[in-house]
Amino acid sequence: MINLASTSDLIQVITSHAAQIEVHASWVDLNGTTVTPGRTNTPAITTATTTTIVASPAASTVRNAKHMNITNDHASQSCIVTVEHTDGTTVVELMSFTLLPGENMIFNEEGRWAHRDAQGAEYPPAGLGSYNGRTVGFMKTGTAADAAGYWYCTSKDNGFPGAWAVGTPGVNGRVTDGTAAADNGCFPIANPSVGANYLTEVNMAAGVNHTHLLFDVLWVNSGLAITTTGAQAITTPTLPARDLNGTTNGEGCSIAILCTAAVGLAAVASNATVTYTNSDGTGSRTATLSAIVGSQAPATPVIGTLIWFNLQAGDKGVRSIQSISLNTSWVSGSISLMITRDIATIGTTIPNVNAQKIIGTPGIRLHNGTCLLHCNLASATTATFYAGELVVMEK
């Protein structure tokens, strides 16, 4: 409903072309306890002009507009129809539609506007901010993983997109932005023009069956000393606002080591630790590895090996990192530390046959700047070709 509360208030329409615009309005006048219903049928508007369709109420009366039906009854001319409320001084636009011949626009008692075609069918929401989809395809030629049960990241591999590189941000690292040149090689997901991006579907095929994980890397560093066993101090910048809640607190975020070159570690190792501040702002927390395949560093890790840390009991995420201690010399090679947020997993069950995962409405939020990478929990060491497609909806 729309109130006209003074003798200067009225509702008017502006017509952009000489079509034939027909208007019906139903309203109720309230004067004290007296209720008087009324209606107005406006003679056909056949010029580009401004026309009153609900007149001002009498003194001491509030006119409540309950329903308006505006139809373009012209045989061939489209018309932009704009509905406005004015109090005699300030004019406010309420709604505007382009009405094709035979179409109408309706305002109901609940305050909802609808746009109907010439057959009476209601138009769905339109515009990029309402609902718009795009597909993001990817293909990667992966090299051999360490062993079954260890994680392997395809970020360094050729294909589409091309290889993603950590760069040389130093020990304190850098935050990422998947739309910036420094992070070319992550999945190319453009920021929405209006609204927000949501991942609604994942399709994946692989030459060898694995469990696959898509994750957003928020921060990454370089320059860690591979042979230093003591604590290496790190001062991380404020994370981008891409945690589980779209904030910089890091809820839902994890810590991982990425081997950016083959590492000379002579035997499996599970004694590395990371000191961090959790997503609630509590400092001096300790992330650890476990002496189990998949949660430890393998012997002689290959390039692309990904090693995930366990957060301290009760923690829900990582806001910042203060240090890493390898506690054993890793001998040679290079590693980077990352703060990431898991996005989606999918398993492939038949080699080279697509697996599909539909994600319930509205999908998984991909915050602006998402730097999305792919890794897998290897079922075998075999070099694998990966192909897939993401469906990203802008809502």
Average pLDDT over residues 62-79: 94
Q: Residue 129 above 50 pLDDT?
A: no
pLDDT band at 373 (very low <50, low <70, confident <90, very high): very high
Residue 251, pLDDT score: 96
HEC secondary structure over 194-222? CCCEEEEEEEEEECCCCEEEEEEEEEECC
Residue 131, pLDDT score: 62
CA-based nearest residue to 347, from 214, 150, 191: 214
Residue 219, pLDDT score: 98
Q: Contact at 8 Å (CB) between 199 and 390?
A: yes
Q: Residue 127 above 70 pLDDT?
A: no
CA-based nearest residue to 11, from 21, 22, 30, 25: 25
CA dist., res. 27 & res. 356, Å (int): 53
Q: Residue 362 above 90 pLDDT?
A: no
Task: Identify which has the larger pLDDT, 231 or 245.
Answer: 231
Residue 128, pLDDT score: 46
pLDDT band at 1 (very low <50, low <70, confident <90, very high): confident
CA dist., res. 359 & res. 372, Å (int): 17
Residue 395, pLDDT score: 75
Average pLDDT over residues 60-82: 95
Residue 126, pLDDT score: 53
CA dist., res. 312 & res. 317, Å (int): 10
Residue 110, pLDDT score: 85
User: What's the whole-model pTM score?
Assistant: 0.70
pLDDT in tens, 268-305: 999 999 999 999 999 999 999 999 999 999 999 999 99
pLDDT band at 124 (very low <50, low <70, confident <90, very high): low
Peptide bond before 298: cis, by omega within 30 degrees of 0? no
Read off the amino acid at residue 339: I
Give the up-direction half-sphere exposure of residue 132: CA atoms within 13 A in the CB hemisphere: 13
Mean pLDDT (the chain) is 94
pLDDT in tens, 5-48: 999 999 999 999 999 999 999 999 999 999 999 999 999 999 99
